[in-house]
Chain A
């Protein structure tokens, strides 16, 4: 019956409209959170830049200093990956791109070594829990990245590095380019490769007083440097996550709009067909009456 068809269209349009409202709201929430994540990344820059500058200078002065975190191991048996993903989905290919980048990096490493995963975010944990190889997990850290969390993660990997449970550590995160583009990036954390003096505009020529000594300051700086690298990767990851979610939800909202449009068109057609049918009925009936009256 034609009337029931129209009702069915109406029901479906209503349902798609509801979905569209949800995706639209999620997009706006992500936009706000993206802005906050970018502000946090901006706020961390002075710390990171000063730390890197000082580290480079110190590395130039105290080049013969020995520290386990600086030492390159001759025999590498196990490689660690800190994989930073989101806790939640609905953000396009964000999580799967990161996991794929990790899997590819492991496969392409021709040394064929044992790997250990430190999962940051539920999505990485869920994947590696199923596949095996999970060494530690840091999940449900929320939308506001705190330095304390980054420090804890750094502490964990530095401990397992110093205990020779791993011999190299990388971090995998999504670098934020813009709302449409987030690039999975892999950076070496341990052993620490100190930034070279060329990267810091030759400031190392200044004659500093070091208190107590360049070597000792360098030693206190190294763990902080690892912490700040992880913190920055987490901040970038958070901005990327919200950027990806914004784009995904924007697309979903547009798609819902298209579906509503085509459903509305189909409904109108069905309604007109029903009206035409009714008119034909009436006209047909009247014709029959006229013929019978003659």
Chain B
């Protein structure tokens, strides 16, 4: 392990999305973003729907859309647990934009038949995916 990196694992119920050494990471915690570098104190933080960034060992910055969850940091290992997580470069931007429009339309209707909370969550997820993909 290089002396300025730590282990980052992004884990979803279906698979381990990412597991490698990174130089730094910024995670979307509920009270604002939390940046993590090597030798961080043990931490457990709740995450919101948003974009997680990290710089891999080759120095290139990656973005991941996460749908909330939490992260745990201990002994230079950071673990992100999210119900879904997608690497920005794998995201279908057109689909994400379509999802955003759909969610916006639903929210605009504001009638009894739609679940506003669910629509809002869908909107947040779509926005996070678009941002993670680097579009807009």
On whether the two chains bind one another, the answer is yes
Question: A-side interface residues toward B, CB under 8 Å?
Answer: 40, 43-44, 46-48, 50-51, 54, 57-58, 146-147, 150-151, 206-212, 214, 216-217, 220-221, 224, 227-228, 231
The answer to whether B42 touches A208, judged by C-beta atoms less than 8 angstroms apart, is yes
7 closest A-B pairs (Cβ-Cβ)?
A: A211-B45, A147-B13, A208-B42, A209-B43, A47-B13, A217-B46, A43-B15
For this complex, 13 residue pairs linking A to B, each with C-beta atoms less than 8 Å apart, are A43-B15, A43-B16, A46-B11, A47-B11, A47-B13, A51-B81, A208-B42, A208-B74, A209-B44, A211-B44, A211-B45, A224-B69, A227-B13
B15 smallest CB distance to A (angstroms): 5
Contact with A along B45-75 (1 / 0, CB 8 A): 1100000000000000000000011101010
B44 close to A43 (CB less than 8 A)? no
B44 in contact with A224 (CB, 8 Å): no
Given contacts A209-B44, A210-B44, A212-B30, contact A146 B14 (CB under 8 A): yes
Q: Pick the contact of A50 from B29, B42, B79 — CB < 8 Å?
A: B79
Choice from B72, B83, B84 contacting A54 with Cβ under 8 Å: B72
Give the interface SS of chain B, mostly helix, strand, loop or mixed.
strand
Q: Known: A51-B81, A151-B83, A211-B34. Contact between A46 and B16, CB under 8 A?
A: yes
Rounded to whole angstroms, the CA-CA distance of A210 and B44 in the bound complex is 5
Q: Which residues of B contact A (CB under 8 A)?
A: 9, 11-16, 29-31, 34, 41-46, 68-70, 72, 74, 79, 81, 83-84
Chain A CB within 10 A, most for which of B13, B14, B70, B84 = B13
Min CB distance A219 to B, Å, is 9
Q: Known A207-B42, A217-B46; judge A50-B13 contact (CB<8 A).
A: no
CB distance from A155 to the nearest CB of B (A): 10
A44, A54, A214, A220: the one within 8 Å of B13 (CB) = A44
A211-B13 in contact (CB<8A): no
Which residues of chain A come closer than 8 Å to B31, judged between CB atoms? 211-212
Q: How far is the CB of B19 from chain A (nearest CB, A)?
A: 9
B12, B15, B42, B70: the one contacting A217 at CB < 8 Å is B70
User: How many Å lie between the Cα of A214 and that of B14 in the bound state?
Assistant: 26
How far apart are the CA atoms of A47 and B70 in the complex, in Å?
A: 11
How far apart are the CA atoms of A146 and B84 in the complex, in Å?
A: 11
Known: A40-B14, A44-B14. A220 touches B41 (CB 8 A): no
Task: Report the Cα distance A50→B69, complex, angstroms.
Answer: 12
Instruction: Tell me how far the C-beta of A151 lies from the nearest C-beta in chain B, rounded to whole angstroms.
Output: 7
Measured in the bound complex, the distance between the Cα atoms of B12 and A231 in whole Å is 12
With the chains together, A221 CA to B45 CA distance in Å? Answer: 11
* Contact partners of B44 in chain A: CB under 8 A: 54, 57-58, 208-211, 214, 217
* Known contacts A40-B14, A44-B13, A211-B31; is-contact A206 B74 (Cβ 8 Å): yes
17 more contacts with CB within 8 A, not counting A58-B44, A147-B13, are A43-B14, A46-B9, A48-B13, A50-B79, A51-B81, A147-B84, A206-B74, A208-B44, A211-B31, A211-B43, A211-B44, A211-B46, A212-B31, A212-B46, A220-B70, A221-B70, A227-B83
Q: Which A residues are in CB contact (< 8 Å) with B45?
A: 210-212, 217
Q: How far is the CB of B28 from chain A (nearest CB, A)?
A: 12
Residues of B with C-beta under 8 A to A50? 11, 72, 79, 81
Nearest CB in chain B: distance from A226 CB, A: 12
CB distance from B95 to the nearest CB of A (A): 15
Question: For B41, what are the chain A residues with a Cβ–Cβ distance below 8 Å?
Answer: 209
Contact A47 B43 (CB under 8 A): no
